[in-house]
Amino acid sequence: MASSSNLLVFVSVAILLQLRLGFTSATSTKYINDICNRVRNSTFCFKTLNSYPPAVAATNKYQAAQAVLHLGESHALKTLSFIEKVAMMRSNLKQFKACQDVYKYIAMSFHVPTSLLKEAPDSANYDIMVCYDQTTIVNNLIGKNRDVASKKVMTMTMKMDVFINLADIATTVIGW
Ligand SMILES: *[C@@H]1O[C@H](CO)[C@@H](O)[C@H](O)[C@H]1NC(C)=O
């Protein structure tokens, strides 16, 4: 009895593992694999792109990069609107104002026309790379703050860094 229930657990784990692996790479498109196999946070990359229809539907590297850029822009705008909401009632208003500027800049940098991706992918990549300096600015401004709003913005900023890395890789593989 004990051994058959052990077997059952073993089989379930094996099936779960297979589902998980299938989810992270076997079922991904070539374009998603090309990006996610090279980023720092592959698990997040596969999970996010495989559940984002425009990324799944991409049939070339430009569409795949656009999908990644769009996700990053959305996250930047979401963070911006959170900062705008909390900024007005803070004692550290000045810091939050500066963080708003950062996120406006990042959202703009992620808004890349497909024509630029095709004609000057290295220039699009440069614009994305500069965003790492922008999140460093946020870190320097509020990284040591202990209030809940600052901590939330820092969590969102760490996630922004992950999206910057994805966009960095997505615009890099275009040039290959
Ligand atoms: C990957 O990114 C997600 C989202 O920001 C984060 O929760 C997770 O901890 C990251 N994993 C690693 C290994 O960095």
Q: Residue 14 pLDDT more than 80?
A: no
- The better pLDDT of the pair 8, 95 is held by 95
Q: Band the pLDDT of 1: cuts 50, 70, 90.
A: very low
Nearest-atom number in ligand 1 for the CA of 159 is 5
The residues, any chain, with a CB within 8 Å of residue 107's CB and separated by 6 or more, are 73, 76, 77, 80
Q: Band the pLDDT of 175: cuts 50, 70, 90.
A: confident
Query: For residue 139, how far is its CA from the centre of ligand 1 (angstroms)?
Result: 17
Residue nearest atom 14 of ligand 1, based on CA coordinates: 41
Please say whether the beta carbons of 53 and 39 come within 8 A: no
The residues, any chain, with a CB within 8 Å of residue 90's CB and separated by 6 or more, are 96, 147, 149
Q: Band the pLDDT of 47: cuts 50, 70, 90.
A: very high
| Alpha carbons 118 and 124: distance in angstroms, whole number | 10
| Alpha carbons 32 and 43: distance in angstroms, whole number | 12
Q: Band the pLDDT of 91: cuts 50, 70, 90.
A: confident
Query: For residue 117, how far is its CA from the centre of ligand 1 (angstroms)?
Result: 27
Per-residue model confidence (pLDDT) at position 41:
98
Mean pLDDT of 33-37: 97
Q: 10 Å Cβ neighbour count for 175? A: 12
List ligand 1's pocket residues with C-beta within 6 A. Answer: 41, 44, 158-159, 162
| Alpha carbons 15 and 27: distance in angstroms, whole number | 15
Q: Which secondary structure element, helix H or strand E, spans residue 49, and what is its range?
A: helix 42-50
pTM for the whole thing?
Answer: 0.85
CATH 1.20.140.40 fits 2-173, yes or no: yes
Please say whether the beta carbons of 159 and 141 come within 8 A: no
